């Protein structure tokens, strides 16, 4: 009897109710349902994919689709909500559990669905505050290179980055990066003493940024770097494509040796929290933080000699089913 009362008490407590959505997700769901009411989605399935989510807020990418799976992968939703004649598929790459294949088929019968529609060009983003009381909806009808990056929409930045909003934009945002290792690295082994450099890209919000002025001498005085105490890893810009600066880190073996144990976790934290832009001003350098997009959950590892893809690592907290997508299809399909 005591156990029964305890269970009833837990169910009745706020935040302990099974299946209860967070305030941010509840707000985003209401917005998606409102759009369905307005017939904004021509497709049967609506993928509601949670991208960055932190203490500030959450951002959801909303895409119409012909199946409940993410386009370009086999990622399954953790939850499906039928609303009118549409299926809202909730997805989150972080700690969550994908819906079993049989359950997904039971709800949607998608393998036998013959109502495939046209290619859908419009996508939406919904930024929501942590408490769900404020949200912003943006849409785009052309899928360009930048369309797939939420941080290219100034209206969304206040839901991802502290101290930034549509009127106070971060000058630069660390978009993504990959690791380059020596030829002695063994896949799934330790990265310690094997990392040679980091390759990646940095987004700039203003196409007329002063960084690109003709004064090349001034540009050379400015630099990007990752700080780890007294160790500094400079990021050398090697190319510029579609509002992104592509970089290769400088040769600094001491910086990577200082990572010691759990080198990937340490490196991830440093790039997230300690990437800076140093701007030359009046004979000194002024340090500006470069926030990290937290957009990607997979980071590729390449061989230093051939640049061949040899392995991958994942963002901390990523769910196991996403890692399994890069393993055995038969194992994924059986669950």
pLDDT tens for residues 138-164? 998 877 778 889 999 999 999 999 888
Q: 14 pLDDT exceeds 50? A: no
- Residues 106-115 have a mean pLDDT of 86
Burial class, 274, CB count within 10 angstroms (exposed 0-12 / middle 13-18 / buried 19+): middle
Torsional sign, CA 275, 280, 283, 288: negative
Contacts of 194 (CB under 8 A, 6+ apart): 181, 182, 184, 185
Instruction: Provide the 3-class DSSP secondary structure of residue 255.
Output: helix
pLDDT band at 13 (very low <50, low <70, confident <90, very high): very low
Residue % of the chain over a pLDDT of 70: 86
| Residue in the block written with tokens 């040899």 | 310
Q: How far apart are the first and last CA of the chain?
A: 36
What the block records as the tokens of 299 is: 């980071």
Give pLDDT, residue 289.
94
Contacts of 234 (CB under 8 A, 6+ apart): 223, 224, 225, 249, 250, 252
pLDDT band at 185 (very low <50, low <70, confident <90, very high): very high
Give pLDDT, residue 7.
40
| Residue in the block written with tokens 């930045």 | 157
How many separate helices (H) and strands (E) can be counted in the chain? 8, 15
**pLDDT (tens digit per residue) in 252-298:** 999 998 987 788 999 999 999 999 999 888 778 889 999 999 988 89
**pLDDT (tens digit per residue) in 30-79:** 999 999 999 888 888 999 999 888 899 999 999 998 889 887 677 889 99
What the block records as the tokens of 82 is: 């039928």
pLDDT band at 220 (very low <50, low <70, confident <90, very high): low
Higher pLDDT, 9 or 89: 89
**pLDDT (tens digit per residue) in 47-61:** 999 988 889 999 999
Cα 209–Cα 215–Cα 216 angle in degrees, nearest 5: 100
Distances, alpha carbon 122 to alpha carbons 90, 144, 217, in Å:
18, 11, 43
């Amino acid at each position: 009897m005591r156990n029964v009362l305890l269970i009833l008490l837990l169910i009745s407590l706020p935040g302990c109710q099974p299946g209860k959505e967070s305030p941010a997700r509840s707000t985003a769901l209401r917005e998606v349902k409102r759009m369905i009411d307005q017939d904004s989605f021509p497709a049967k399935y609506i993928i509601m994919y949670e991208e960055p989510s932190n203490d500030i807020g959450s951002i959801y990418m909303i895409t119409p689709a012909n199946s409940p799976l993410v386009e370009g992968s086999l990622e399954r939703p953790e939850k499906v909500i039928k609303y009118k004649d549409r299926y809202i598929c909730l997805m989150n790459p972080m700690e969550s559990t994908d819906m079993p294949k049989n359950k997904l088929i039971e709800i949607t019968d998608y393998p036998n669905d013959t109502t495939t529609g046209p290619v859908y060009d419009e996508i939406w983003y919904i930024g929501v505050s942590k408490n769900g009381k404020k949200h912003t909806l943006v849409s785009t009808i052309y899928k360009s290179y930048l369309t797939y990056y939420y941080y290219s929409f100034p209206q969304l930045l206040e839901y991802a980055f502290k101290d930034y909003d549509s009127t106070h934009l971060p000058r630069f945002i660390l978009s993504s990066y990959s690791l380059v290792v020596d030829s002695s690295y063994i896949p799934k082994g330790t990265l310690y003493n094997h990392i040679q450099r980091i390759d990646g890209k940095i987004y700039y919000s203003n196409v007329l940024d002063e960084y690109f002025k003709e004064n090349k001498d001034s540009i050379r005085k400015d630099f990007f770097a990752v700080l780890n105490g007294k160790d500094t890893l400079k990021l050398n810009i090697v190319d510029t494509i579609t509002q992104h600066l592509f970089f290769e880190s400088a040769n600094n073996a001491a910086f990577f040796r200082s990572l010691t144990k759990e080198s990937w976790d340490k490196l991830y934290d440093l790039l997230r929290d300690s990437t800076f832009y140093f701007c030359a001003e009046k004979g000194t350098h002024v340090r500006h933080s470069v926030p990290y997009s937290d957009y990607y959950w997979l980071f590729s590892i390449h061989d230093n000699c051939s640049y061949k893809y040899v392995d991958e690592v994942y963002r901390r907290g990523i769910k196991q089913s996403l890692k399994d997508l890069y393993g055995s299809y038969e194992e994924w399909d059986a669950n």
